[in-house]
Amino acid sequence: MTIPTNYLLTLSAVLFVLGVLGVLIRRNSIVMLMSIELMLNSANLAFITFARAFEAHTGQVLVFFVIAVAAAEVAIGLSLIVSIFRSRGSVDIDQISQLKG
Amino acid sequence: MSTQLILFFVLAAIAIFSAISMLVSKNSVYSAMFLVLNFLTIAVIFLLLNAPFLAMVQVTIYAGAIMVLFLFVIMLLGADMAAKGKSLSWQPPIAVLLSGVLTLEFAFIFFYRQQDILPTIEAISETYGSPASIGKLLFNFYLLPFEVTSVLLLVAMVGAIILARRETA
């Protein structure tokens, strides 16, 4: 007996919502980036769940590309955080308000 | 209840627990460690879903490379600056409330409207999800996107170096 598809999708949805919650309530930009990773990962879980449900390999190949894009995104995001930290001395999102009118 | 289902529930509990712990940890190093735990549990779920190749990719790239990068930056920036300025006090309760609503909506669709979106699973064939078949698809039909990915990673590498470089007059 296999795991029902809707259980897996519910787990994926719960993890995604926890990622959204992390972006909304945490002010530390590094933890916000980690929450985005959590969301990407839950989307990967949904991809693989549907790939199994339809017995198609395309979903699994797409997850591979999502992981590659996530790696690039993390590299750019973290270097942005490092350069913001150098100029502002903080990684707190609320402190970064230079463009505020 | 089958062994697979019990294993799935245990893994789901660990995944949700580690995600919540990541959110509430004050120290970002703990957050990163809980995220590693989360990625590892998801990798085991990938194994249960006939995706051994992606489970290994998940462990090496996500739990390995990406999280090392996170930890490296956390250490580089001197661990933790506790948030000094007060943030909006009304925002977290509303965020939690709306997230709960979103979860309920997802659960409603997945459990009460599932006949609209989900196919019924019959027995899955033995060869489904083998790394060989993924590789065949990746290097035939998806060859161009695969090659473009290498350009993307190169651009990300150059961009990261330029952004994080110290300004020299």
Put simply, the chain A residues between 26 and 65 with a CB less than 8 A from any chain B CB are 26-28, 30-31, 33-35, 37-38, 41, 44-45, 48-49, 51-55, 57-58, 60-61, 63-65
Residue B136: which domain range? 130-169
Per the CB < 8 Å rule, is A79 touching B159?
yes
Contact B85, A84 (CB under 8 A): no
Look at A62-71, B60-69, B81-90 and tell me which has the smallest mean pLDDT: B81-90
Helix axes A5-25, A29-54, angle to 10 degrees: 170
pTM: 0.90
As for how many domains chain B has, the answer is: 2
A101 domain residue, yes or no: no
What type of residue is B94? I
Instruction: Provide the pLDDT confidence category of residue B156 given band limits of 50, 70 and 90.
Output: very high
For residue B115, what are the contacts with CB-CB under 8 A and spacing of at least 6? none
What type of residue is A7? Y
Q: What is the structure's pLDDT at B84?
A: 56
**CATH code of residue B74:** 1.20.120.1200
Burial grade of B101 (CB within 10 A; 0-12, 13-18, 19 or more): exposed
Same domain, B2 and B65: yes
**CATH code of residue A29:** 1.10.287.3510
For residue B80, what are the contacts with CB-CB under 8 A and spacing of at least 6? A28, B26, B27, B28, B29, B74
Q: Low-confidence residues of chain A, pLDDT below 70?
A: 1, 101
Per the CB < 8 Å rule, is B73 touching A92?
no
State pLDDT tens for residues B125-137: 777 878 888 899 8
Same domain, B136 and B65: no
Distances (CA, A) of A30 to A9, A84, B37, B95: 27, 12, 17, 19
Among chain A residues, the shortest Cα distance to B114 is held by: A6
ipTM here:
0.91
B169 domain residue, yes or no: yes
Residue A34: which domain range? 5-90
Instruction: Provide the pLDDT confidence category of residue B80 given band limits of 50, 70 and 90.
Output: low
A10 domain residue, yes or no: yes
> Which residues does residue A92 pair with via DSSP β-bridges, in sequence order?
A28
Nearest neighbour of A71 by CB, restricted to B61, B87, B107 = B61
As for how many domains chain A has, the answer is: 1
